[in-house]
Amino acid sequence: MSGAAIAPERVRLGALTTLKVGGEAELWTAGDEASLREATAEPFFVLGAGSNLLVSDAGVAERVVRLGPPYATLTAFDGAADVWLGAATPLPGLVRRAQRAGLSGLEGLLGVPAQLGGAVTMNAGTRFGSLSDTLVEVEMMLDGDLVRLPADALGLRYRHSELPPGAVLTRARLRLTASTPERVAAAMIAVDDARKGQPKVKSAGCAFKNPAGDSAGRLIDRAGCKGLRVGDAMIAHEHGNFVINLGAATSRDVDDLLEAVRERVSVALELEWRRWGGADGEPPQPGWSARTPRGKG
């Protein structure tokens, strides 16, 4: 795989996330193995589509690495049921292409605003299905080398995976099931109907994981939290498990709102989002994909 070289630049991460919250960091775009190897030679975070992510107002000290266009291989999807795709492939487009090809297995991911690599990392999904339902194998950059692991080595469970520390997914192999475009489209209608109550404004997706046997959204609604607001961060009126940015929300606003919700709900709620960096006035803290450079233990 070949592509553009590393292009480090200073950016405001809020502009690259779906919640539109977060301070600055040094962004590195990797378009091939050599540039990805260079980008990951120092502590880093990996940025995909920017959903399910809350970035500190102070930004992060680590590099932020994203995969460039050569890793977005949606156009290479030719309708094969067993296919390798780049980790930067947009999931919404992939779901639609699979439907048109009459391939089943991804319809439960309709509307999930992620890239394929992030979907694997979070084991993204809805109550209709998860990415792990079709995942067979992954390729990743680890300590400067490309390695492959089977899906059953990733510890995949509800909104969770156990990738090796410092790994960057580069490709994923999916195995879909032959069906018809009409049957897959019919299944997608049920998924789409279930999403109609979700807000269509700035959000990072569902904030909390569903507790066992219950719905976080239902619990938050029952606690009277819909419409609860801190600064420009608000619990959506449409769905209790969505925090929306009314325009100028800060990370501190969001953190305070999440804490207010937890205090009102009787069941412990686990955050589904990833966090990057510390709270305002605190030094940034390493996050889920930060790694220690080789040779620094």
Q: Which residues are catalytic?
A: 159, 206
CB within 8 A of 121, min separation 6: which ones? 161, 163, 169, 289
With residue 182 as reference, give the H or E element that holds it: helix 181-195
Q: Are 54 and 19 in contact (CB under 8 A)?
A: yes
Q: How far is CA 125 from CA 29, 69, 111, 146, in A?
A: 27, 24, 9, 27
Q: Coil, strand, or helix at residue 70?
A: helix
Residue 109's φ and ψ, nearest 5 degrees, are -95, 5
Residue 267 and residue 262: Cα distance in Å, rounded?
8
Q: Coil, strand, or helix at residue 211?
A: coil
CB within 8 A of 153, min separation 6: which ones? none
CB within 8 A of 124, min separation 6: which ones? 52, 91, 109, 112, 114, 118, 130, 131, 159
Record the tokens describing residue 9, joined without a space: 């630049």
Record the tokens describing residue 113, joined without a space: 């605003």
Residue 200 and residue 14: Cα distance in Å, rounded?
18
Q: Coil, strand, or helix at residue 76?
A: helix
- 169 bridge partner residues: 140
Q: Tokens 């995949």 map to which residue?
A: 156
